[in-house]
A and B are shown apart, each in its own frame.
Chain A
Amino acid sequence: MQLALREVTKRFGSLVANDRISLTVEGGEIHCLLGENGAGKSTLMNVLYGLYRADEGQIVLDGEVQSFTGPGDAIAAGIGMVHQHFMLVPVFTVAENVMLGNEETGFAGSLDLEAARERVREISARFGFHVDPDAVVGDLPVGVQQRVEIIKVLSRDAKVLVFDEPTAVLTPQETDELMEIMRELRRSGAAIVFITHKLREVREVADRITVIRRGQVVGEAEPSASNAELAAMMVGRPVELTVSKKEPELGAASLVVEGLTVVDPAGLVQVDDISFEVRDGEILAVAGVQGNGQTELTEALLGLQHHVLGSIRLDGRELVGRKVRDVLDAGVGFVPEDRQVDGLVGSFTIAENLMLDRSFGAPFVRAGSLQLSALQEFAEEKLAQYDVRAPGITTPAGNLSGGNQQKVVVARELSRELRLLVAAQPTRGVDVGSIEFIHSQIVATRDAGVPVIVVSTELDEVVALADRIMVLYRGRVVGIVPADTPRQVLGLMMTGEPPTGDVA
């Protein structure tokens, strides 16, 4: 099936999110959409999927102009979308989820679950998915849940598949498996639209690349183009792809963690007797496959975990057992890994989000009353400094594109007087240009003499930022090694294998 978007325009008030975008995707082709945060990629796909109605332009499938009034029409026309935030019912089984919204009923309206099971088995077999139709979705790992989404889409005979940043939450291994699935789908003749910020993935699977900037198509790129070329085309200027950072000027060991153990509400030990130090002016990167205790470690540092043993001392003061607010007041900045859940209040304006953890005193609160002019000035400044693409400081944060939301969180945390920075996945979903900027801000924080902990599942990010690398596996420290440790060794450490040779 051939998909053609013709001169699609979508406006949000005065903001033109899509400005006469034209795009053709052939069957049996993987078409990558590249573009900086807020370029309008997700908006375009939401138009295609019937979630938004285009102000102008047409959606054409195999030469036929379509008019969708909702996702139902788009699905019926053969369009499927794998959302970044999965739309699955966690307590349902795989088969029930696949059936949902498309229930086949038998005698007297009874559900024909067997047919759905069969469908799951058949699609799994065709694409080598290994998904059990009777597994409860909530128990499955992220990557498998995503496969359930794909099965769901395929079970409705989708010929056009849209993947909007599907790899942001996947482990490297799951990512590779997804790439393989996409190739398989291509072989079966599907037209695929793939959105990602990771240039490595683009070059790996893309047949064609269209670059969008500020709502307009700025051109096509060859899959053989270098990363630097792709990045420059996206951002409109040359991008520094490597972090330039000088040798660390190490100070005292201000953060000392000893025997830290975190037990989750279910009674499982998520962090198991961890000890480490971070010195002033040093970045300690925490590496590991997602789910090996990193989340709990950062939350324990912030006082967000309830069952914590051991000690965390910052500048000699104990942080364990203190309230979140006391920890923040002690000068800890925190970029949480899930910005939409923990980092932002979606219905609040950008300005309000910028003061979210500063509602207790100067400069934004005086005598219990909000200082709106101080806030406005501050917000305008940060908007410009961090290049947040938004109509203004009163835009609700929930309306921002993913990367711009991240910039708001980072801006808020870095603009306080810090004594420790804890950044979890600081560049998840962020475009290359903004990665460059956020990385340079983190390095600048280090250079100002602040100890920094960066948690990342992206090995590239770990290697780029770290002065030392701590690898976690199943809640334990596998080793703390120098930044120039070969990737091979780091990869092995992430599977629990202790490093050989000397340890930093």
Chain B
Amino acid sequence: MSRPEDQPTGAGSQGIPGPTDRTAGTSTATGQAATPPPSEDRWREAVRAITTGNGLVALLSVLLAVAIGSLLILVTDDAVRETSGYVFSRPGDFFSAAGQAISGAYGSLFRGSIYNSRGADFASQIRPLTETLKFAGPLIMAGLGVGLTFRAGMFNIGGRGQMLLAGAAAGWVGINVDLPFPLHLAAAVLAGMVAGAFWAGIAGVLKARTGAHEVIVTIMLNYVGFYLVFYALSRQSLLQAPGSINPKSLPMQDSAILPDLLGDRFNLHLGFVLALVAVAVVWWVLNRSALGFRFRAVGANPHAARTAGIDVGRTYVLAMLISGALVGLAGANQILGTATSGVTVDLDAGIGFDAITVALLGRSHPLGILGAGLLFGAFKAGGFSMQASEGIPVDIVLVIQSLIVLFIAAPPLVRAMFRLPAQEAK
């Protein structure tokens, strides 16, 4: 029973001339031990860095995007452009015009999204905040769905298709089924969630069974979903309102509508509460449940997860199902709460894609997504009032949102700009 240390040292002490011909087994040796992980792993690593990066970067990205948004406001503002012509002779004019443009823009953004100091009574002063919450609800729901797939190592780009299918299913129940109030609403919401889960589940199953990349599948399913719903909306036998030639359904029955939270004067409805419940549930699933543990394990290292007896394919399918159900909840929220006048192919209102940004900004953490959803809800609510009161194109807000994504996806850029120390890594 000897150990290395008891042996005479020297090059040949183990007396093992290696095999002269290494064709048989070397490929495995190299593959296992030495070559950097295959490109898929690197892609996954990058995705992980982008989707779960650190909070400071998220915050700085927002600030930077807002700063660049300010520049755009300056460039597009007429008064600023005029005064810039004689900026050297009368710089004061230029700076006061610039100051006015920016404070006007962000002032109206604030008044449109949080508190309108010019409102006649308390209700109209506080109304913008309720609008923000109304817009934030579905963003949070769908953002949770997308964030959940990020944590499991996947992308769900199919929010649009899932929301459309969910909206159509929830709408169909909301129009055609006769049930008393809470039951009808519950059935409609459930139908939406099931439809969303089904649509996302297709991508999950295809990935698990055939290895088809979920990004491509979910994008394609957006188109399929769109035309499917469009078709249903042009058939009287399916969803189209009787006697109509427009691709639109009948309005929801009252018994299927999400009730208003603050009475008739506000648009805020029960959907926001559902969003908060979803935050709590997803938080629990990810951090306290065995299922979430497996999601995170598969997302962070599928090799180790598989070796530990976790069925990676099954986990992908489950993650996609739950993700789709959450996105479907957002779809149901739209048709049963925000746009109850009938199903159309515009019912997703861009939320399916904004949800990706929300999940990124929230770093795939439920509470982060809550915050990011509220911020984007405020952008939505405020963007319109900015356009209305200051004549600033609402696109500025879209540019700010897009820049946020850009900066989050390029943390090294943000780090360099703010001279943060490079992340220490082995």
- Residues on A lying within 8 angstroms of B by beta carbon are 42, 46, 51-53, 70, 85-90, 137-142, 145-146, 169, 171-174, 176, 179, 198-200, 203-204, 226-228, 231, 241-245, 264, 266, 268, 270, 289-293, 295-296, 302, 304, 323-325, 327-329, 334, 336-338, 341-348, 352, 355-357, 359-360, 365, 368-370, 372, 432, 458-460, 463-464, 473-475, 483, 487-488, 490-492, 494-496
Contacts and interface: CB of A to CB of B under 8 A. Distances in A.
Interface residues of B, number: 58
A268 B29 CA distance: 14
Closest 5 pairs between A and B when the two form their complex, measured CB to CB: A291-B29, A227-B5, A291-B25, A325-B309, A357-B308
A264 B48 CA distance: 29
Contact of A289 (B18, B36, B301, B426): B18
12 contacts: A88-B36, A141-B29, A145-B30, A172-B18, A199-B4, A268-B27, A324-B306, A348-B300, A359-B290, A365-B290, A370-B288, A491-B16
A368 B288 CA distance: 9
Contacts of A432: 5
Interface in B1-28: 1-7, 9-20, 22, 24-28
Given A348-B296, A357-B308, A369-B288, A51 B5 contact: no
Contacts of B32: 295, 337-338
A464 B425 contact: no
B306 A176 contact: no
Contacts of A290: 25, 29, 33
B307 A302 contact: yes
Nearest to B29: A291
Contacts of B3: 241-243, 460, 464
B424 A51 contact: yes
B291 interface: yes
B305 A345 contact: yes
Interface in B386-426: 421-422, 424-426
A356 B306 CA distance: 10
B1 A463 contact: yes
Nearest to A42: B426
A408 to B, nearest CB: 12
A3 B155 CA distance: 48
Given A179-B11, A290-B33, A356 B288 contact: no
B218 to A, nearest CB: 25
A296 B18 contact: no
A141 B306 CA distance: 27
A53 B422 CA distance: 10
B416 to A, nearest CB: 12
B10 A138 contact: no
B22 to A, nearest CB: 6
A356 B297 contact: yes
A368 B290 contact: yes
A460 B7 contact: yes
B4 A173 contact: no
B127 interface: no
A242 B290 CA distance: 42
B34 A200 contact: no
A296 B15 CA distance: 25
A88 to B, nearest CB: 7
B424 to A, nearest CB: 6
Contacts of B9: 200, 203-204
Given A51-B426, A359-B290, A496 B19 contact: yes
B6 A241 contact: yes
A176 B307 CA distance: 33
A176 B14 CA distance: 11
Given A142-B29, A475-B24, A488-B15, 7 more contacts: A171-B18, A200-B7, A264-B28, A347-B301, A460-B3, A460-B14, A495-B17
